Amino acid sequence: MGHSVEGHLKLNVADYDKLIRQLVPGYAAMRAAHMALLGKLLPADRPCVVLDLGGGTGALAEAVAATLPLAEVEIWDIDRAMLGVARERCARFGPRIRYVERSFAGPLTPCDAVVACIALHHVKDLAAKGGIYRNIFAALKPGGVFLNADTAIAAGGALRDFSYDEWVRAMAPHGISEKQAREHFASWAHEDYYPPLATELRLVGEAGFADPECFWREIPFLIFGGMK
């Protein structure tokens, strides 16, 4: 899992936060829903540990730390440059945020919640992704929650076309033409795979979660996961 955001999106890591809002429809709404769910499921007045998988620039960890004032957050990422950006962004939280330069494909720290945002679709092998979900389930304490904000697209046909057409439409207000958008899709396909939602929920269920669920969706982006 040698993915690098800087290489993948062909941009300087400092520009990532701006660009992600141009490329991801409803990014702000997705982040708000992500934190609303987390805040509802983990009481803000209790200490907890939250793992942010593929945490990149630290934007998600920053939001978690602000939402849960007593939380300790671990950012797991193998991209050293992105972790450097995260350290700068999250410096005000001091030791509440830890930076783990390690693949999230192995065993994880025991925790109360695992979150991710636009990261796990880089795991193209479904068996490997299923293993990650099992590791997440194993790391979670009873009552713990897994909330993954990511991309899901139908396997083929008109529904698949619709998802990509909606994605193109959402990029247009940011000055990205249809030609440019579809060139992005073709380039990203070398490292990305967006399984259908049914596949993701099946893998989450097989990992041990009794009631896997999609909590929010703005095609083709969504938040799904489950509670232990």
Residues 140-184: pLDDT tens digits? 999 999 999 999 999 999 999 999 999 999 999 999 999 999 999
Residue 11 vs residue 26, higher pLDDT: 26
pLDDT at position 4, please?
46
Confidence band, pLDDT 50/70/90 cuts, at residue 8: very low
Residues 72-129: pLDDT tens digits? 999 999 988 888 889 999 999 999 999 999 999 999 999 999 999 999 999 999 999 9
Question: How many other CB atoms are found less than 10 A from the CB of residue 41?
Answer: 14
Buried b (16+ CB within 10 A) or exposed e, 132-148: bbebbbebbeeebbbbb
pLDDT at position 20, please?
86
C-alpha radius of gyration, the chain, whole number: 17
pLDDT above 70: percentage of residues in the chain: 94
* Residue 216: strand pairing partners: 223
pLDDT above 90: percentage of residues in the chain: 83
pLDDT at position 13, please?
52
pLDDT at position 38, please?
97
Domains present along the chain, CATH in parentheses? 5-227 (3.40.50.150)
Please list, in sequence order, all residues whose beta carbon lies within 8 angstroms of the beta carbon of residue 130, skipping any fewer than 6 positions away. Answer: 203, 206, 207
pLDDT at position 193, please?
96
CA 103 and chain centroid, separation: 14
What is the number of alpha carbons within 13 Å of residue 101 lying toward its C-beta? 10
Q: What is the mean pLDDT of residues 188-196?
A: 94
Residue 3, pLDDT > 50, answer no
CA separation, residue 28 to residues 62, 116, 129, 134, 186 (Å): 14, 15, 26, 29, 25
Q: What is the mean pLDDT of residues 12-39?
A: 87
Pairing of strands 221-227, 213-218: antiparallel
Residue 7, pLDDT > 90, answer no
Confidence band, pLDDT 50/70/90 cuts, at residue 17: confident
CA separation, residue 66 to residues 7, 59, 92, 116, 134 (Å): 30, 11, 11, 16, 28
Residue 70, pLDDT > 70, answer yes
Confidence band, pLDDT 50/70/90 cuts, at residue 10: very low
Q: What is the mean pLDDT of the chain?
A: 92
